[in-house]
Amino acid sequence: MEVIRISALYDNYIFLLHEPMQNIAAVIDPAEAEPVLQQLEQLGAELVTIFNTHHHNDHVGGNRKLMQHFGNVTVYGGEKDRGRIPGQQVFLKEGDRVHFGDRAAEVIFVPGHTRGHIAYYFPPETLGALGDLFCGDTLFVGGCGRLFEGTPAQMLDSLTKLRALPDNTRVWCAHEYTLKNLQFALTVDGGNPELQARFATVKAARDRFEATVPSMLSIEKRTNPFLRWHQPELQLAVQSNDPLQTFAQLRSMKDQF
C-alpha cells in the first residue's frame, strides 16, 4: 500500500492510499476533491473508499464530489458523527476493523478535538516494517488538536491510546502545524536537547517549503509535550504533578500561544 500525501487548502494534508496491484485507491479526509481527482488521474486508479476521521469541513469537503465522480464509493466515519459527514454509509466504533486492498486497519475512538473523532491504525505488514496512523486532528507533529467539542480528560485518554502504539508507527496528521508546535514546545521543554535539534531541522525544512508529515511516533514520544505530561520537566513547567492538570494547562497555554 502506497501512501501519497496531497496538499490542500492552506495547510491541510489529504492522504491517498494506493493499491497498485488492483489499481484502486482510498482517500483519508478529502478536504477538497480537485487535488484528489488530479492524483487519481495520474495514477489511472479508481477511488473505492473514503475514510473520514471527523466531521469538520476541511476533512470532508470533497466527499460529495468524489462520490459523484466515481459512483460506487463507500464512506466511513465514526458512529458519533452520524448525520455530520456527507455521504457517510459506515458508522465505526472503537475496535472495529476496516479493510483496503489486502490491508486492515484498527479503528481507535479518540474524542477531544470533536466528540466523534476516530483514527485509523494500519499495523506493519512484516517484521521490521512500519505501521501507519492516520489521526486527523487529534495528534499533530509536535502538538495536538484544539478541544472544540471534548474535554481535557477525553483528549488525554485519546492521546494515551495513540501513545501506546508501537514506536515504529508513522504519524500522518492532517495539518502542517509543526513549526509553531515546536516553537511552543520549546517554551515548556526547552532543556530537551532532542527537541532543540528537532526544531532546527524542522525550521530548515520549512524554509525550503518541505513537508514535515509524516513523523515517527518514537520521536513524538520524546519531543511532543502533549505526549509527555508524565515527565517531571513538563509538570514543573505548569507547577502540577497531576497528569490531567498538566495536560489541561499545557493545552490552555498552547491556545494562547
Neighbours of 190 (CB within 10 A): 12
| 18 carries a ligand binding annotation | no
| 230 carries a ligand binding annotation | no
| 55 carries a ligand binding annotation | no
Q: Which of 53, 55, 73, 54 is nearest to 64 (CA)?
A: 73
**Residue 186 phi, psi dihedral angles, 5° rounding:** -65, -25
| 137 carries a ligand binding annotation | yes
**From 18, 54, 55, 117, the catalytic residue:** 54
> Is 99 labeled as catalytic in the residue annotation?
no
> Is 175 labeled as catalytic in the residue annotation?
yes
| 157 carries a ligand binding annotation | no
> Is 137 labeled as catalytic in the residue annotation?
yes
The residues that bridge with 99 in the sheet, in sequence order, are 104
**From 18, 55, 59, 117, the catalytic residue:** 59
Q: Which of 6, 1, 61, 13 is nearest to 38 (CA)?
A: 6
Q: Are β-strands 118-122 and 143-144 bridged in parallel, bridged antiparallel, or unpaired? A: unpaired
**From 113, 117, 132, 189, the catalytic residue:** 113
> Is 69 labeled as catalytic in the residue annotation?
no
| 99 carries a ligand binding annotation | no
Q: Assess contact for 41 and 61: CB atoms under 8 A.
A: no
| 56 carries a ligand binding annotation | yes
Q: Which residues are annotated as a binding site for Zn(2+)?
A: 54, 56, 58-59, 113, 137, 175
- Residue ranges for the known binding site are 54, 56, 58-59, 113, 137, 175
> Where in the sequence numbering do the catalytic residues fall?
54, 56, 58-59, 113, 137, 175
